[in-house]
Structure 1
Amino acid sequence: MTQKNWSDRINPAVRSVPPSGIRRFFDLVAETRGVISLGVGEPDFVTPWHIREACIYSLEKGYTMYTSNWGLLELREAVAADLERTYNVKYNPKNEILITVGVSEALDLAMRALLVPGDEVLIPEPSYVSYAPCTTLAGGVPVFMPTSMENNFRISADQVRSAITPRTKVLLLCYPNNPTGAVMEREELAKIAEVAVEHDLIVISDEIYDRLTYVGEHTCLASLPGMQERTVLLNGFSKAYAMTGWRVGYAAGNPDFIGAMTKIHQYSMLCTPITGQMAALEALKNGQPGMRRMVGHYNRRRHLVVQAFRDMGVPCFEPGGAFYAFPQVSVTGLGSEEFAEELLKQEQVALVPGNAFGRSGEGFARVSYAASLDDLSEAFRRMARFVRRCGVRSRIISAPVKISDRQEGICQTI
């Protein structure tokens, strides 16, 4: 009996989306013994105890039920207070804030609520791996705006303006940026905002790394003139509070946008798990000191990691935010994927090939420095050895920078 081919029954939009470049590479990692992974964008810190304790206490009190589709009102009120205190933007917690299952769900909801087939979404590149697929799955068309190390991986207002067509509906921004760590200065962002107003664009602003800003101050896009009503602000707790596995994010915006997103949310996820919401509430109430300590540790690692790459002869963009370095590995004579695969095979160190984040990432690799100090030190020792075998001349004669507890002068207990 002939085997029936069922693939033609699958939604063409789904068939057209390639598997995640990150996940494909980490299938190789899973098959390799003794790997040091600097690939996953996850803090090496455990969620602070007082946040975990709040979750445990909520379970002991019997908080195991559904919440409102919108999320716990107390958490939405805390999010609104935090945004007003930090960025002087005011949102009504009753109808302008939605608690989501991580920022990933918030992004998907925003795309599905806003796009109709053929709508174009402008995306700076290199870009986070979910942006283009979420656009495609919602019926939209991703339009990439390439950036480079020469322009600090930032887009310009002129670049946005030149990319706009009659079908352009959304501008998607992520600063501090994943994968490059680039940040935008307020003046640059204000010029882009003027273009968005001029052309009546909706802006989805993914600000999950806002608190991990080391150079200058983060500018919340919604705080700029004319932007709050046309911006869907996405944020969450994963990065700043070391809560990746809790899967709690939020979207803030005008009630029309947030209401439409909530309609989809209530028929799919229904609500974010209450235990995660209780933990997030504790993070907002009492998590600032621990968060600031973690950010301080990342900042010190940032300098050491960038210097380590430069000392081994590999140019490296200096990130102003997030916890990623983006070295230019093409100096080894290898492409992004070949470099990552050979480094994994020969030295058991895992990085993410830059081309997983789009064509503009070719020749680079993403390196997470949200890893333990011991792992960073050993990984850089192995990488330096690999780079030397590729014929790259080190800038120093002695061993590469050792990233150690004594150098950083920290204790990892938060």
Structure 2
Amino acid sequence: MEHLINPRVKDIEISGIRKFFNLVAGTENMVSLTIGQPDFPTPLHIKEAGKKAIDENFTSYTHNAGTIELRSAAADFVNKKYQVTFDPETEVIVTTGASEAIDITFRTILNEDVEVILPGPVYPGYEPIIRLCGAKPVYVDIRPTQFRFTADVIKPYITENTRCIVLPYPSNPTGVSLTKKELEEIADLVRGRSIFIMADEIYSELNFEQEHYSIASNIREQTIVINGLSKSHSMTGWRIGLLFAPKEITQHILKVHQYNVTCATTISQAAALEALTNGLDDAVPMKQEYKNRRDFVYSRLERMGLEVVKPDGAFYFFVKIPALTEELNSFEFCLQLVEKVKLAVVPGSAFSTYGEGYFRLSYAYSMETLEEGLNRLEAYINL
């Protein structure tokens, strides 16, 4: 029966991140720096709110968009943090993780043969959905600009078929963010054109060198903001995403969301409400620890002579494969790390063809794990 499967589904592949993680899982004495999973527990007060929701039988459907209390808290959160205003009644949707928010956005705004402009390298979760919609991903090579996806590099790729520009900052896999000025220039470039901006701001609370600036505060009418609690509140498994957009857009996205999941999990919604009301600054100590880890990892990578752009957000390094292994592609290089020194990182090719020649290292791990992993990387380089 496989021949009856939708050809677009057959043509997409499992994420290269997960593929490599699964490949090395179970290997004895392996140090893995692969997954972008915060190593902090969900804050206690949030877990208690989830338990309370179960005890009080908060286990029925909610409004498709989420409880009004949570949507109001989410709107207050982005207003206090990023000075962006959304109406909780009509412009906020609570989703099953940011991944669902991305999915329902693309399925709402894309159709056959339109184009979506993406930076390359980039998180691999966008392209498969774009292709499932029959649309075309158009990658912009941002390696020459130190991974900065600016108006100048975007402009040549805009055509009459461009429907959306994806702005994922701070970035997975590079950790690079954009300045307010750079985002304002992108807004000026797009303003008045029939082009959406999808601003994937899931790492907005993990911005080390500057306050996060949302492009929605500059070009709100064309922007769909994706956010969530996975990274900011260490709630990956709770699966709470947040989508913000003008009501003329959300009224249609909500239809896709309704037929997709009905509503986000009620227990998780209760926990998310606690996170967004009494946990506004839960990310602050985590961010400081990530910054300490970043500085440690950066100093080690520099001492090894590896070529790397210092990240200013998220918790990743995107590292150039050392010159002595240039004959290897990124997958082969990462396999050699596994075989020779029992270290797992993610091949750059998982992040589009523009990631070839690099590997991604996650520092969402304890300092002890990072030190051991970097010792193994250095041992490989010195073989």
Shorter-chain TM-score category?
over 0.9
Alignment-derived partner of residue 362 in structure 1: 356
What is the distance in 2 between the residues matched to 1:233 and 1:164?
21
Q: Does the CA-based 8 Å contact 1:22-1:356 persist in structure 2?
A: yes
| 1:280 correspondence with 2:258 | no
Which string of whole-angstrom CA distances, capped at 9 and with x for unpartnered residues, describes residues 332-351 of structure 1?
Answer: 32331122111111211110
Residue identity opposite 1:233 in structure 2: V
| Partner residue in 2 for 1:159 | 153
1:27 aligns with 2:22: yes
> Secondary structure at the residue paired with 2:209?
coil
The unaligned stretches of length 5 or more in structure 1 are 1-5, 390-414
CA contact (8 A) 2:78 2:84 kept: yes
CA distance in 1, matches of 2:282, 2:100: 26
Mapped contact 1:25–1:352 kept (Cα < 8 A):
yes
Which amino acid is the alignment partner of residue 357 of structure 1?
F
Instruction: Report how far residue 152 of structure 1 moved.
Output: 2.0
Q: Is the 8 A contact 2:46 2:275 kept in 1?
A: yes
Q: Counterpart amino acid of 2:341?
A: E
TM-score using structure 2 length: 0.97
* Equivalent residue, structure 2, for 1:238: 230
The residue that corresponds to 2:168 in the other structure is 174
For the 8 Å contact 2:206–2:283, the answer to whether it is kept is no
Shift of residue 23 of structure 1?
A: 2.0
Aligned counterparts, 1:5-404, within 5 A: 6-148=1-143, 150-224=144-218, 227-333=219-325, 334-389=328-383
What is the Cα deviation at residue 31 of structure 1? 4.7
Q: How high is the sequence identity, in percent, across the aligned residues?
A: 39
Q: Which amino acid aligns with 1:49?
A: L
Based on CA coordinates, which of the two structures has the bigger radius of gyration? 1
Taking the aligned partners of 1:151 and 1:196, their CA distance within structure 2 comes to: 20
SS at match of 2:35: coil
* Larger relative contact order (CA 8 Å, sep ≥ 6): 2
Residues 188-214 of structure 1 show CA distances to partners (whole Å, capped at 9, x for unaligned) of 111111111143311111000011001
On the 8 A contact 1:344/1:350 being kept in 2, the answer is yes
The answer to whether the Cα contact below 8 Å between 2:174 and 2:318 also exists between their aligned partners in 1 is: yes
2:294, 2:315 within 8 Å by CA — same for their partners in 1? yes
Deviating beyond 2 angstroms after TM superposition, the runs of 4 or more aligned structure 1 residues are: none
* 8 Å contact kept, 2:232–2:282: no
For residue 232 of structure 2, what is the amino acid of its counterpart? A
108-117 or 357-366, which deviates more: 357-366
- What is the deviation of 1:264? 1.1
Counterpart of 1:406 in structure 2 is none
Structure 2 portions without partners, runs of 5+: none
Indicate the RMSD between aligned Cα atoms, in angstroms.
1.2
TM-superposed deviation, 1:330: 3.6
SS at match of 1:316: coil
Offset at residue 158 of structure 1 (A): 2.3
Deviation digits for residues 127-155 of structure 1, max 9, x if unmatched? 1011111111122110001111x422012
Alpha-carbon distance in 1 for matches of 2:287, 2:26: 33
- CA–CA distance in structure 2, aligned partners of residues 238 and 332 of structure 1: 37
Alpha-carbon distance in structure 1 between the residues aligned to 2:182 and 2:99: 26
The aligned amino acid for 1:107 is I
1:329 partner letter: I
Note closer, same or farther for the CA distance 1:358–1:330 as it changes in structure 2 (3 Å cut): farther
Deviation at residue 10 of structure 1 after TM alignment: 1.3
Q: SS state of the match for residue 191, structure 2? A: helix
Tell me the SS of whatever aligns to 1:327.
strand
SS across alignment from 1:258: helix
**Aligned residue type for 1:255:** K
Check the 8 A contact 2:77/2:280 in 1, yes or no. Answer: no
Tell me the alpha carbon deviations over residues 295-344 of structure 1, each in whole angstroms, 9 at most, x when there is no partner: 00000110110111111121221001000011112423233112211111
Contact residue 330 and residue 336 of structure 1 kept, 8 A: no
Q: Report the Cα distance in structure 2 between the residues aligned to 1:156 and 1:94, rounded to whole angstroms.
A: 34
* CA displacement, residues 80-132 of structure 1 (integer Å, 9 cap, x when unaligned): 11111122211110110000000000000000000111110000111101111
Give the TM-score normalised by the residue count of structure 1. 0.90
Q: Answer whether contact 1:183 1:320 (CA < 8 A) is retained.
A: yes
